[in-house]
Amino acid sequence: LETQAAADQAAKEYKHYAEVIIPMQMKSIGLDSIKLASGGTLSVVHNVYCQPNKNEKDKKIIADWLTSLNGEHLIKKEATVGQDSLGALDANGIPYAVATNVNTNSLKAFIKNALGLSKGSTKQIDIEDIPACIHFSMVDTVEVTDD
């Protein structure tokens, strides 16, 4: 039990240094990577996390937000009739409910692109523009690679 407690404490301290102390220090002096004497590299890695809420109210908020940013192609609409019949329902004034779903990885990629974080992308939004129900976050950490 003592060994497990020591291992847990070491893992906690490692995570704190890897995700907070070292990235912050490197950023403060303008470094993205450092060549190590061993020949490896210590680099700051930008991790992005996205966990949208799955309740119907928030799924509607997400679908509306994506539509406002020309991201409708990410929305998976479901109905109890075939997609080709939706136009006929509209034309005849028949009400229906549309369920919207979005793939989380596609949403994360879309947001990264809209924030200008993807290679070759142009910033279109700020992180504050993302609806709170999406739970999008960016975390810097360090990674050591052997060259």
Amino acid at site 139: V
> Chunked in runs of 10, what are the mean pLDDT values of the chain (147 residues)?
94 91 92 92 91 93 95 84 79 80 94 94 95 93 85
Question: 């704190």: which residue's tokens?
Answer: 16
Specify the pLDDT at position 62: 95
Coil vs helix vs strand at 4: helix
Specify the pLDDT at position 80: 66
Q: Are 143 and 46 in contact (CB under 8 A)?
A: no
Instruction: Kindly state the greatest CA–CA separation across the chain.
Output: 73
**Residues facing residue 99 across a β-bridge:** 78
Specify the pLDDT at position 78: 75
Specify the pLDDT at position 12: 94
> Taking the model in full, what pTM does it have?
0.64
